[in-house]
Amino acid sequence: MISSIIKLSVSDFVLRILQNDAEKFGFLKKEKEPNLNGLLNKLIPNLLYFRKTRRDEIHRILTEDFARNDKEAIYECVNTVIDQVYFSDAELQVLDEVIWFRPSTKQNAVFDEIEESETIITGQTTTEYIRGLLNEYSRFPQYKRETIAFDNELYDFAKACETGRVFHATVNGKSIRMFAFHYVYGFTYDQSNYLIGYDLTNKVIGAIPLCLIRDSYLVERKYKPSEKLIELLQEYYENEEYDKVIPYEEEIQ
């Protein structure tokens, strides 16, 4: 079992990125200060998933595309090289900042996996491994970091776009139901990500910033939009005026 509190030494660069993202993505304490603990509990499970997915893809390519008999040895070398070249501290200068981080009970299994499995694979300590995840994260542009932090919510929305199932979520403390139409990555200079659809609760066509989505889920019920609604959604998407909403009373489904 991992310690209840983890001391992370990080560079000033990584700390500033995390503070920026906590504010930008809505992870704030009551005093409106950045809640790094909340952000890290959201980030690290997703970063671990992406790291494992990449490892699996490397293994698949060595096995299927190159059919190497020594694929296991090559696989271990490639992963070690990637860790050393891309996720080390060399480019991030002095580790002169400290973050005290407490894994949530909900994420205990994730951090136990890091401590009991991932550190063995990589030959790192738990704190070195977690710092490597954050070093990698800090190198991405902001819009990409946001999609990592809200990967589960984006997955739900993408699934709703694909299936027509109604997308449920909480936005600014209020529940919404939405017919999901499309999503936009890295829009405009501020690198915002938007979820575009028809808000069934408020009867408007609009775009919701991804970072405002909380507690998303889908229901089995599907929504069948009229051709008129689809035309309006397409027009809204193409006009790229995502700060506006368009009132629209869709016929009862």
Q: pLDDT digit string (tens) for 41-91?
A: 999 999 999 988 888 887 788 777 777 677 677 766 776 777 666 666 555
Residue 252 covered by a domain: no
167 band by pLDDT with thresholds 50, 70 and 90: very high
Same domain? 108 vs 160? no
Q: Among 89, 120, 139, identify where a domain stops.
A: 139
The amino acid at residue 248 is Y
124: Cβ–Cβ under 8 A, 6 or more apart, which residues? 83, 132
**Rounded Cα distance, 205 and 229, in Å:** 9
Q: Among 94, 120, 139, identify where a domain stops.
A: 139
Own/partner pairs, 15-19, CB within 8 angstroms, 24+ separation: 15/97, 15/99, 17/137, 17/138, 17/145, 18/99, 18/134, 18/138
Same domain? 187 vs 213? yes
Phi, psi values for residue 73, rounded to 5°: -70, -45
Greater model confidence, 76 or 240: 240
Same domain? 11 vs 106? yes
**Rounded Cα distance, 236 and 226, in Å:** 15
- Does the pTM surpass 0.75? The reply is yes
Query: By residue range, what is the domain housing residue 208?
Result: 150-247
The CATH number assigned to the domain holding 178 equals 2.30.30
**pLDDT tens column, 211-229:** 999 999 999 889 999 999 9
Same domain? 164 vs 135? no
3-class secondary-structure state, position 67: coil
Residue 62 covered by a domain: yes
**pLDDT tens column, 108-149:** 889 999 999 888 888 888 998 999 899 989 989 999 999 999
Contact 215, 169 (CB under 8 A): yes
**Rounded Cα distance, 118 and 89, in Å:** 18
